[in-house]
Amino acid sequence: MSQANDLVESLTPDVLLMEIEMLRTKDQRTILLVEGPNDMAILEPHLDDVECRSLPTGGKVNLLATIRLVNQRKLKRVLGIADRDWEGLLAAAVRIPNVIYTDFYDIDATALFSGNVCQRVVSVHCDGPTVRAHLTKSGQADPLSVLVEVASEVGVLRMLNIRNGWGVKVRDFPVHEVIDTATLQVSQPRLAAIAAGRSKGAVRAEDVATAMSAWSWGTYSRRDFCSGHDLISALAFVLKSAWGGKHVGVEAAGRAIRAALSCTELKATQFYAEVKKWGATRGAAIWCC
């Protein structure tokens, strides 16, 4: 872990509040609180840096707690952009003044689902005929459909883990280990076995498999279950194993997605519109797009 990440993870809401108050003494720009470096990498190219600056908080819990303190102090022009995660799915969405949520699970998922971001990343890093042949063979419509199918199945595991209290360590879940390269789909037996192994005996593979097989999508959208981590992990694995992108790892895939998000695609998102509206009501420019 880098020193910069160590510093971000050591932050607390009280420390962040003090930093915001110190910044206010010398910098009158709007302060945009984000969860971490990945959010900054996506958003900063699109921010009006004359009028606005971003500040990482070390995660969603810190961000929301900091905004609550900011609201109590009645500090002006401080906005938080938080990952939606399971808001509105596992429970009613928590609405806090001066907090805007991403359209999808997190900022990376929102970027990948925007416009033609996924197709452009695949086109740049892969051999077109190889991709098309593999999609035809596996019965998938397009690259994004492959990623959504994989990531959403892992997302169901994440959701059931919370709902059932299994205690599975889902952070940095090894998505690449559960993908069947022949079908580009999740192997449910592998998923269940790995989940049980990451629970330290708290849940059996059979119980995970039973719960997963009983899951019905109903009115749920698969996209709502896709975390950026799982989408990027799936993308990196499929690029290397099936589509000819031999030199693309997880970090490179993530950077490619963040760089591929254009102003046109960002402007089509709901959170862009909400941020713009928030700024307009306060006489503050946030976006340069």
pLDDT tens string 66-117: 999 999 999 999 999 999 999 988 877 788 999 999 999 999 999 999 999 9
Which amino acid appears at position 220 of this protein?
A: Y
Cα 34 to Cα 217: distance, rounded to the nearest angstrom? 31
pTM assigned to the model: 0.92
- The residue ranges of every structural domain in the chain are 3-103+269-280, 111-265
* CB neighbour list of residue 247: distance below 8 Å, 6 or more residues apart: 240
pLDDT (0 to 100) of residue 159: 96
What DSSP assignment string belongs to 36-80?
SHHHHHHHGGGB-TTTEEEEE-SSHHHHHHHHHHHHHHT-SSEEE
**Residue position matching structure tokens 């700024």:** 279
- The predicted model gives 24-30 an average pLDDT of 94
pLDDT (0 to 100) of residue 6: 54
